[in-house]
Amino acid sequence: MQLPPGTYNTSYSQDMAVVRTRLQWVLLIVFLLFVFVAIPQIANRFWLSVLINIAIWIVATQGLNILLGYCGVPSMGHAGFMAVGAYTTAILGARYDLPFWVAMPCAGLAAAAVGAAFGVAALRVKTFYIVLATIAAALIIQYLISLFPSVTGGPMGIVVQPAKIGGIVLDHAKDFYYLAMAMAVLGTVFALNLARTRVGRALVAIRDNAIAAEAMGVNILLYKTIAFGICCFYAGIAGSLMAYYMMFVNTDLFTFDQSIWLMGTVLIGGAGTTVGPIFGTTFIQLLKQGIGRLGPKLVEAFPSVGAGVIAAIAPAVFGLVLMLVFIFEPRGLAHRWALFKAHYRMFPFSS
């Protein structure tokens, strides 16, 4: 970490500190207070739903970022693994009446197990082959869900009971917001720390040069499978959150398009950084929800243009943004943020 002028690390604990300077502490506490205290007070229904969506997506993209950003393995089946988590939650919650604090970790573990099983097969192949293998994984999961309608409800889906903590039922957006945001913060902290551990460094080594990493004693298949498992665990948790938020699960929530959006979000934010998924998710979700909110007004303003056209604006803009980001800033929004921080730190000597 680059430090402001005049600040030096003089001990190991200082060198390893995540939050190093007083200003960072202040900013962090202000940010957390803002997120957990101020926003629930001031946000209306629309903004709460936007923020809950952002929180759920941050969990999913942080997971994908561990695989894609740190390990360099693309996965286009993320939504499929989210579906595993969501259905596990729904089945455990609705059929077996398990409380949410059992169902959610189980959802994560189930997704991780399915992911690791596919991973062992998929990770033997490289780059583009993995892309198709993960797409295949998501399609097979969807097929399996539709194959057992007695368990999964088939196309009707399953109704999910709202989550309960103690005596509090999280059936209002405001209550659920705390849970979703807490999971997003937890997921981010875990991802941040994972990158600094032995596992995280092994993953980065595999991404940067697989053969050199192997020569250094990194078991590539093992670590890739671990990364895949962690990635799918996050997906399972995100899917579980989604199930509790929508109070309903069916396969239409987890399509191939969703996987593309998730992957694009990580890349627009900046793969391989912890802030990247947060930036990407916030940007993309604001864009999506903003256009979604603008849509009805546009339909009113231009009645001759069909509603289908308006609905296609969001993906069109997303596709365009994805292309432009890769042409002009391949390292994503996180790189811009790093440049801004460097500029701020060096001021007035930065150019």
Partner 1 sequence: MTIFFQLLLVGIMAGAVLGLTAMGFILIYRCSGIFNIAQGELVAIGALLCFAFLNGLNLHPALAIFLAMLGGALIGLLLSRFPFGPLTGQPMLALFIVSLGLLVFLRAGILMVWGTRDIGYFRPFLPQGAIDFAGLALYPRELFGFGVAAALLLVFLWLFRFTRFGLVLRAVSEDTRIARSLGINLKVLIAVAFAIGTAVAAVGGVILGLTQGITTNLGDVGLAGLAAVLIGGMESILGGIVGGLLIGVVTAMASYYIGHGFGGVAAYVVMLIILLVRPYGLFGQERIERV
Which residue of 146, 193, 219, 350 would you call a contact of partner 1, by CB under 8 A? 146
Tokens representing 48 are: 């709460």
Cβ–Cβ < 8 Å for 235, 117: no
Report the candidate in 63, 27, 19 with the shortest Cα–Cα distance to residue 184. Answer: 63
* 124 contacts partner 1 (rule: CB under 8 A): yes
- Closer residue to partner 1 in complex, CB, 35/325: 325
Instruction: Please provide the distance, in angstroms rounded to a whole number, between the alpha carbons at the two ends of the chain.
Output: 20
Beta bridge partners of 79: none
The residues that bridge with 272 in the sheet, in sequence order, are none
Torsion of CA 201, 206, 85, 46, to 10 degrees: 70
Q: CA 88, CA 105: separation in Å to the nearest integer?
A: 10
Binding mask 211-230 for partner 1 (x = CB under 8 A): xx--x---------------
Alpha-carbon span 20 to 4, nearest angstrom: 10
Q: What SS3 state is found at 169?
A: strand
Interface region with partner 1, contact rule CB under 8 A, candidates 50-58, 104-112, 245-253, 304-312: 304-312
Interface region with partner 1, contact rule CB under 8 A, candidates 187-195, 232-240, 263-271, 275-283: 263-271
Q: Is residue 302 a contact point for partner 1 (CB under 8 A)? A: no
Nearest CA-CA partner of 103 in 82, 116, 85, 78: 85
What binding mask, one character per residue, do residues 56-95 give for partner 1 by CB under 8 A, x or -?
A: ----------------x-x---------------------
Pick 27 or 324: Cβ nearer partner 1 = 324
Q: Does 311 bind partner 1 (CB under 8 A)?
A: yes
In this complex, which beta carbon is closest to partner 1, that of residue 55 or of residue 232? 232
User: Could you list the residues that contact partner 1 (CB under 8 A)?
Assistant: 72, 74, 121-122, 124-129, 131-133, 135-136, 139-140, 143, 146-147, 209, 211-212, 215, 256-257, 260-261, 263-264, 267, 306, 308-309, 311-316, 318-324, 326-327, 330
